[in-house]
Amino acid sequence: MPVLLFLIDTSASMNQRTHLGTTYLDIAKGAVETFMKLRARDPASRGDRYMLVNFEDVPVGIKAGWKESHATFMTELRNLQATGLTSIGQSLRTAFDLLNLNRLVTGIDNYGQGRNPFFLEPAIIIAITDGNKLTSGSGVQDEVGKRLFSFFDISPKNTVSKIVVF
């Protein structure tokens, strides 16, 4: 029963249009909808729980929690608007806090007693962003305020991709 948390960038830069006229946010919504449809076909996905979080501050940024229905999730996804700022650091922190809260509620983690190793509930954070400058109330930042380790991966076709690890 994995928990899949979708972290969607709803900054104003997601209103940019592609050459086809579709906004980046519409592409992100379509990607999540397609993922959900394909995942629903897999029999192993029956116990999956989904969460939808955007880049707004808590509690407004939590659009659908792990107890919400699939219909509520899809409605909240369709209603996302790109009007905010890009604060991926705070949004990731919110995502991890929500996953930790879920583990406390379900009994996987016990406050003061550690984790129950015989319980296993994978959690996956899927972040969708356009990767523009990170903006917050205090201004534009060049990078996330957390320590990042990055390295470059060179594929056999001599293309370079940057991989960032938190």
Those residues whose C-beta lies under 8 Å from the C-beta of residue 148, and which sit 6 or more positions away, are 164, 165, 166
Mean model confidence pLDDT for the chain: 77
Q: What is residue 162's predicted lDDT score, i.e. its pLDDT? A: 43
Residues 129-142 have a mean pLDDT of 60
Digit-coded pLDDT (tens) for 53-98: 988 877 777 888 878 888 898 999 999 998 877 777 888 888 888 8
Between CA 129 and CA 28 the distance in angstroms is: 8
In the predicted model, is pLDDT for residue 35 greater than 90? yes
Q: What are phi and psi of 92, to 5 degrees?
A: -65, -40
Q: What is residue 125's predicted lDDT score, i.e. its pLDDT? A: 92
Considering only residues 135 and 19, tell me which one the structure prediction assigns the higher pLDDT.
Answer: 19
Q: What is residue 78's predicted lDDT score, i.e. its pLDDT? A: 93
Residue in 149, 166, 23, 163 with CA at minimum distance from that of residue 88: 166
Domains, in order of start, for the chain: 3-134 (3.40.50.410)
